[in-house]
Amino acid sequence: MANKWGMAVDIDRCTGCQACVIACMSENNIPINLDEHFNNRRAISWIRVDRYWEGEYPHVKARFLPLLCQHCGNAPCEPVCPVYATFHNDQGLNVQVYNRCVGTRYCANNCPFHARFFNYRRPVWPETYNNYLNEDVTVRDRGVMEKCSFCVQRINRATREAKRTGDEEFINTLQPACAQACPTDALVFGNLNNPNSQVSTLFHDDREYTLQESLGTEPNIRYLKKVDKEAAPEPVHA
């Protein structure tokens, strides 16, 4: 049976430390975000931690929401691309083909999670960084959309190794960079078609919910609710 990849994000465990953001940047050759990127709102970070304030002063609480491409099963970004630059593969991944992208940016408009990023200019790294770039990941040129790939290079490598050695452990221990870097294990990645995987169990947790469920995008990422005994009984409104 084919693998179907998914992730559980435990809001209760997230401390907002941004380790996932940094790990993702170095794994996926994401251009360095300078002040001007943030000021222009053009910073690229495939995973980001949105910070929301909850409550009135002095009882203010910071809420962290790690957000990455939800790899929707019924993705709004896919049918609007005129050139099939983004489509669904057989492992439940919403994949992006950089060479096909012509830069209409319709997919980004249609993404309810703001998970897609556009390269407004050609990314530049200081020359000393050249040897630090990940050789498994394409460097995206300007005019191309990009987004979280669930570290598809790692997935491919693990499935290849598993096939070569016949050792399923390669697949079972597979982790994208963000999940690997998370110090509190708030991000749990795994194979949803494996009923014994941790992510499959978390998908049936009591606290489980989907972002913007009303849109019916069937994301492959589930969030686990914050446990806050002092909080009002209503769910947190973003």
Partner 1 sequence: MRNRPVLTAPQINDELLWPVMTLERRHVLAFIPPFLLVLAGVVATTVLVWQGLWVTGLQRPAFWGFFIVNFVFWIGVSHAGTMISSILRLTQAEWKRPITRAAEVMTVFSLVTALMHPVIHAGRPWRILYWLLPYDFFRGIWPDIRSPLVWDPVAITTYLTGSILFVFTALIPDFAIIRDHATGWRRKIYGWVALGWRGTPRQWQLQGIFGILMSALILPVFVSVHSIVSWDFAVSVVPAWHVTVYAPYFVIGAVHSGVSMVLTLMALMRWIFRLENYIWEDHFDAVGRLLIVIATLWLFFFFLDFSFSFFTREEQELAVMERRLFQWPFNVITIIMVLTSYVIPIPLWMNRRVRRNIALMFWTSILVNIGMWLERFFLIIPAIERKQQLTFLWSNYVPSLVESTIVLASFGMVGMLLILFAKFFPLVPAWEQKEGQTFRQTIQIGDAQVDAVIRESEEERAW
Q: Which of residues 126-155 bind partner 1 (CB under 8 A)?
A: 142-143
Task: Pick between residue 103 and residue 183 the one whose CB is nearest to partner 1.
Answer: 103
Residue type for position 36? E
Q: How far apart are CA 47 and CA 221, in angstroms?
A: 13
Q: Which of 22, 112, 161, 170 is close enough to bind partner 1 by CB under 8 A?
A: 112
**DSSP SS3 for 198:** helix
Query: What is the nearest approach in angstroms of partner 1 to the Cβ of residue 41?
Result: 4
According to the binding rule CB under 8 A, does residue 67 interact with partner 1? yes
DSSP 4-18: -EEEEEETTT-----
Dihedral (C-alpha) 213, 103, 86, 212: value to the nearest 10 degrees? 0
Return the range that interacts with partner 1 (CB under 8 A); candidates 8-16, 115-123, 149-157, 185-193. 115-123
Within 10 angstroms of residue 154's Cβ, the number of other Cβ atoms is: 19
Cβ closest to partner 1, residue 89 vs residue 109: 109
84 is a contact residue toward partner 1 (CB under 8 A)? yes
Q: Whose Cβ is closer to partner 1: residue 24's or residue 65's?
A: 65
**Among candidate residues 103, 105, 80, 96, the one with its CA nearest the CA of residue 46:** 96
61 near partner 1 (CB under 8 A) = no
Q: Does 104 engage in binding with partner 1 (CB under 8 A)? A: yes
At 160 the three-state DSSP class reads helix
Site string for partner 1, 178-207 (x = CB under 8 A): ------------------------------
Q: Which of 13, 100, 207, 225 binds partner 1 (CB under 8 A)?
A: 100
Task: For 98, list phi and psi in degrees, rounded to 5.
Answer: -65, -35
Cα gap 93→86, rounded to integer Å: 10
Kindly tell me which of 65 and 177 has the beta carbon lying closer to partner 1.
65
Interaction pattern, residues 16-55, with partner 1; x per rule: CB under 8 A: ------------------------xxx-------xxx---
Q: Are 213 and 223 in contact, with CB atoms under 8 Å apart?
A: no
